[in-house]
Homo-oligomer: A and B are copies of this chain.
Amino acid sequence: SQKLSFIAGPCAMESREHALETAHALKEIGERLGANIIYKSSFDKANRTSAGSARGIGLDKALPIFEEVRLKTGLPVLTDVHTAEQCAEVGQVIDVLQIPAFLCRQTDLLVAAAQTGRAVNVKKGQFLAPWDMKNVIAKLTEAGNPNVFACERGVSFGYNTLVSDMRALPIMSDIGCPIVFDATHSVQQPGGQGGRSGGQREFVPHLARAAVSIGVAMVFMETHPDPDNAPSDGPNMIPMRYFEALCADLLEFDALAKARPPMTFD
């Protein structure tokens, strides 16, 4: 198996300057670590807890910025799509289209994303069993796109709480596609602050390490220079000044894990 990669960036794209600055910082971190980083940011927060929350800068403004990020940093870029109609346009610029967890069973969206020919990262719904991702992945591959990642981001556990069932990683891996562990959304507390979601940033290092030691292709972690003032997902994003050390830590465990796949019994 290949060395661990990272999907990282601020939850929401805030401006051209912010995007370029964070992408450059991540590019340099990736170079120092010798690890691939895919730059992630969202142009639209389409399913905010409440209508009063910021939505994002929108597709039209975001695509040229993503293009500039790619050109200037060389990083591949990832963003999430919310409707089938967006896919073709997004696919002209974006390297990896991401299917949000709530939308992971919307057939038209999956097919349209697959048909761009770009890689697709599908988040497992909070309401889905890991074995049910087989049907989700099949919707994409049967649409002619084998380049699909399956992403664990926590499963509903009572109210306003998610839990990371680490068995989901080997179960989804058996489907045959690269596995992504989303360490920052796994500690989200959906709706946990009334009008917005809470989060438990402090457990990201633990959960990410657990996933990496089992063996995953990629870790997804949102990071921001100043999470407490970010427009969304602040409570679970990693402050950027900690990001490199956290990735370095995970790469140590990854090296060990990739050298030793978990034991299987006859």
Contact = CB atoms under 8 A, between A and B. Distances in A.
Contacts of A164: 165-166
Contacts of A195: 135
Interface in A221-266: 238-239, 242, 245-246, 249, 252-253, 256-257, 260, 262-265
A102 B136 CA distance: 14
A138 interface: yes
B102 A203 contact: no
A253 B209 CA distance: 11
A139 interface: yes
**Oligomeric state, in number of copies?**
4
Interface stretch (A71-79, A90-98, A123-131): A123-131
Interface string A154-172: 0111111101111101100
Contact of A214 (B83, B210, B262): B210
A42 interface: no
A47 interface: yes
B158 A159 contact: yes
A15 interface: no
Contact of A102 (B84, B102, B142): B102
A245 B263 contact: yes
Contact of A166 (B127, B206, B239): B206
B165 A262 contact: no
A49 interface: yes
Interface stretch (A4-12, A104-112, A144-152): A104-112
Interface of A: 46-51, 55, 82-85, 102-103, 105-108, 111, 125-132, 135, 138-139, 142-143, 155-161, 163-167, 169-170, 187, 190-191, 195, 200-203, 205-207, 209-214, 238-239, 242, 245-246, 249, 252-253, 256-257, 260, 262-265
Give 8 closest A-B pairs by Cβ, nearest first.
Answer: A158-B158, A210-B210, A213-B213, A129-B159, A156-B156, A47-B105, A50-B135, A132-B191
Given A166-B203, A167-B187, A170-B202, 19 more contacts: A50-B138, A102-B103, A103-B106, A128-B191, A129-B160, A157-B158, A158-B159, A166-B206, A169-B206, A170-B203, A202-B265, A205-B263, A206-B262, A210-B210, A212-B213, A213-B253, A245-B263, A246-B263, A253-B253
13 contacts: A50-B135, A51-B139, A82-B106, A83-B84, A102-B106, A128-B190, A130-B159, A131-B191, A132-B191, A155-B159, A169-B206, A242-B263, A249-B262
